[in-house]
Amino acid sequence: MATPRVIRTFSMLGADGAGKTALVEGLLRLADPRHASPDGSSARLDAEPEEKKRNFTLSLHPESFDEGGRSFHVLDCPGFAAFLTEVEWALRVTDGAVMAISAADGCHNRAERTFDVLADAGVPALGVITRVDHEQADFRKALADIEASLKVRPVAVQLPIGAGPGCKGLIDLVAMKAHLIDPKVFGKFSEAEVPAGLLAEATALRTAMMEAAAETDDDLLGRYLDAGTLTEEELRRGLSAGTRARKFLPVAVAAAKSGLGVRELLDLAVLLFPSPAERVVAGTDLGGKETIWAGEPNAPFCGQVFKTTIDHFTGRIDYLRIFSGTLRPETTLMNPRTRAEERVSHFFRTDGAQSAEVAEAGPGEFVVLVKLKDAHTGDTLCDREAPILLPPFAQHPRPVSYAVHAKGGDDKAAAALHKLIEEDPALELARSPDTGEMLLQGMGQAHIEVTVERVKRKHGVEIVLTPPSPAYLETITAAAKAQGKFKRQTGGHGQFGDAHVELSPLPRGAGFEFEDAIVGGTVPRQFIPSVEKGIRGALGSGPLAGYQVVDFKAKLVFGSYHDVDSSDMAFQVAGSMAFKKAMAEARPILLEPIMQLEVRVPEEYVGPVMGDLNSRRARVQGMEPATRGVTIRATCPHAEAMTYDADLRSLTQGLGYFTMSPSHYDPVPPPLAQKIIEKRRAEGKVKGVEEEK
């Protein structure tokens, strides 16, 4: 186990631009000035070319460091909406969360989405109003924003001294002391009395904090009502209890460049977040029976992989959060998902760009494992003598997909993408059963674009993305009957098959049915399945545009045969011919896939979003107020929804988001259907009806 006895593990969250990564840089600089950017920027953490290009975090960055005899393990999380799945995973393997909110920008929809994920995870949280030294910083507005936008009770535990570039310290409202920053030493401060000009505001905020703390416990409430105040120790106890019960959001302040509030942030993490020993490890054994362990160093070993990367030189690199037990070199662990054993010869901890081998690690620590055989993100690694399987990481519907085409061939692209998917399970690569296209599916357009850039950089494969072809279908709207007669004489035995088939429509989604209505043996029993097989073989290419034909019934009503020349193949061809001729008379139409959309937007954007949906032939099913903003539910043709991610972000300045899932099929409007049919025929995708020989 690590030497420091105090260990805290937390996620650093916030919308893009909130300054969370710069704050993590500040924590690292505080721990060791040699290992952090001197300007407090995120240049060292956001080191991937794709992150530098966009200037925001795109994946989890685990950081471990010691400060003041304490050990901290922090996950810097993406703030961009398309990468929030990784935030969910981070919250699964940390014991607390710091929510960064910019003093210059306040809360907005992107912060609200992140806070929604945090609230759903049920993890104790600390709010930090960052960038209080920015020219447009407004602490009081940001504090009010938290309550109005995040719908949570903010409880200030600190107050900045001064505003903007003139900010020179903070007031610790718990101890009621001023901390004045030392401009020469990062993170160092001197203690002083509260400035007279801020005493009234500080007193009011401290009273509100005291009331919130008292309400967490009947004993504290009684003491507060009797004495009108709480001791500093009682106040700390109430704040800790209220944070862990998520009754309010304590709010601190920070400025990463100057180091304001950085040391105090770690003090608050120790006070407010539970230790790893307090976490119960709950899972199942190999037989599915519930298993619970304490998060103690002497308990059976259990950890969970929360990030995987594949390096050209090192190979597979897995990041593990240890929940219980102690890991030592030359240990054999079990992966309950595969039942395979993994040999851990040595392991490391990472401190930004630095890594160092460690002799042992215990609960709450992050370790880096190399060259495991088959461990994926979300996998459990445990003691082989006491196996436990932790719940896997949740996966969500991937609303955005693109068809993938590679200059080196699709097989090469697929191999490279599968390696990326091992690193990022929020991606999925699938072959469309309807169009045959290889589809890359992800959580947003930016998610897909970043993946393509990484594939080119890491694997040298250049990928071109195109919108996927909608999976159109064909069906019939009227009953029809036709004869398919196949006759061929080539010397010796010939070929003869004769089938009369009736087609009739079925309800949407019913698929295909075949009925044998032959009487009197006009078609021998052994050839009836051949007719069905011939029809089924022709379903894949309808007469309109060459799409699959669905939702109809084919009834074999009559036919004839030849004692010598009839065969299985002849009746297959006859069935196919009858089907195609009848289709031409059954008023065929095109069907298009309809998607179910759930769109969340701020109220001020409802009008433009509704107008845009109407322009996409969407049918709005209803609107209802959400905790933040408005939720719009609608159905929309897939062909019109393929660019919705980028267009919605443009319409709502990046504040709107949506989920999309398949719903049903509807007829394509005739003018659009005609364009699709003409295009497909020009491409040679429609086959002609086989002529009777």
Structure tokens at 164: 């903007």
With both helix axes pointing from N to C terminus, report the angle between 445-459 and 644-651 in degrees, rounded to the nearest 10: 120
In this structure, of 59-73, 292-306, 427-441, the range with the lowest mean pLDDT score is 427-441
Q: Is residue 679 part of a domain?
A: no
Task: Write down the pLDDT at residue 130.
Answer: 96
Confidence of residue 690 (pLDDT cuts 50, 70, 90): very low
Q: What CATH number does residue 624 fall under?
A: 3.30.70.240
Task: Write down the pLDDT at residue 623.
Answer: 95
Task: Write down the pLDDT at residue 414.
Answer: 85
Q: Is residue 688 part of a domain?
A: no
Confidence check: pLDDT of 96 > 80: yes
The average pLDDT across 330-341 equals: 94
Task: Write down the pLDDT at residue 458.
Answer: 85
Confidence check: pLDDT of 522 > 70: yes
pLDDT tens digits along 63-90: 999 998 899 999 999 988 788 899 999 9
Residues listed for the chain: 693
Same domain as 304, residue 216: no
CB atoms within 10 A of CB 483: 17
Q: Is residue 392 part of a domain?
A: no
Task: Write down the pLDDT at residue 315.
Answer: 80
The average pLDDT across 113-129 equals: 93
Same domain as 341, residue 414: no
The average pLDDT across 463-474 equals: 89
Task: Write down the pLDDT at residue 50.
Answer: 77
| Structural domain total, the chain | 5
Confidence check: pLDDT of 353 > 70: no
Same domain as 202, residue 148: yes
* Cα separation, 162 vs 139, whole angstroms: 10
Task: Write down the pLDDT at residue 17.
Answer: 85
Same domain as 157, residue 146: yes
Same domain as 524, residue 456: no
Task: Write down the pLDDT at residue 43.
Answer: 52
Confidence check: pLDDT of 2 > 50: no
Confidence check: pLDDT of 547 > 50: yes
Confidence of residue 628 (pLDDT cuts 50, 70, 90): low
Question: Of 589, 617, 633, which closes a domain?
Answer: 589
Task: Write down the pLDDT at residue 627.
Answer: 65
Q: Which of 100-104, 404-408, 451-455 has the largest mean confidence?
A: 100-104
Q: Is residue 682 part of a domain?
A: no
Task: Write down the pLDDT at residue 505.
Answer: 97
Confidence of residue 112 (pLDDT cuts 50, 70, 90): confident
User: To the nearest whole number, what is the mean pLDDT of the chain?
Assistant: 90
Residue range(s) defining the domain that contains residue 429: 400-466
Same domain as 484, residue 408: no
Confidence of residue 42 (pLDDT cuts 50, 70, 90): very low
Q: What CATH number does residue 44 fall under?
A: 3.40.50.300
Question: Of 466, 483, 503, which closes a domain?
Answer: 466
Q: Give whole-number Cα distances, 304 to 93, 116, 326, 349, 393, in Å.
A: 8, 24, 14, 15, 10
Same domain as 171, residue 113: yes
The average pLDDT across 498-513 equals: 96
**Three-class DSSP category at 421:** helix
Same domain as 583, residue 625: no
Same domain as 206, residue 127: yes
Structure tokens at 251: 């709010």
pLDDT higher for 395 or 368? 368
Q: What CATH number does residue 442 fall under?
A: 3.30.70.870
Q: Is residue 693 part of a domain?
A: no
* Cα separation, 459 vs 457, whole angstroms: 6
Q: What CATH number does residue 293 fall under?
A: 2.40.30.10
DSSP β-ladder status, 6-14 and 70-76: parallel
Task: Write down the pLDDT at residue 658.
Answer: 87
Amino acid at 229: T
Q: Is residue 562 part of a domain?
A: yes
Amino acid at 265: L
* Cα separation, 453 vs 377, whole angstroms: 21
In this structure, of 53-57, 140-144, 552-556, the range with the lowest mean pLDDT score is 53-57
Q: Is residue 161 part of a domain?
A: yes
Same domain as 462, residue 481: no
Confidence of residue 37 (pLDDT cuts 50, 70, 90): low
Q: Give whole-number Cα distances, 377 to 35, 50, 368, 393, 420, in Å.
A: 28, 21, 13, 8, 12
Same domain as 182, residue 97: yes
Structure tokens at 537: 């073989």
Task: Give the containing element (helix H, strand E) for 309.
Answer: strand 302-311
Q: Is residue 375 part of a domain?
A: yes
The average pLDDT across 505-531 equals: 95
Task: Write down the pLDDT at residue 692.
Answer: 39
Confidence check: pLDDT of 604 > 60: yes
* Cα separation, 139 vs 434, whole angstroms: 55
The average pLDDT across 186-215 equals: 95
CB atoms within 10 A of CB 456: 13
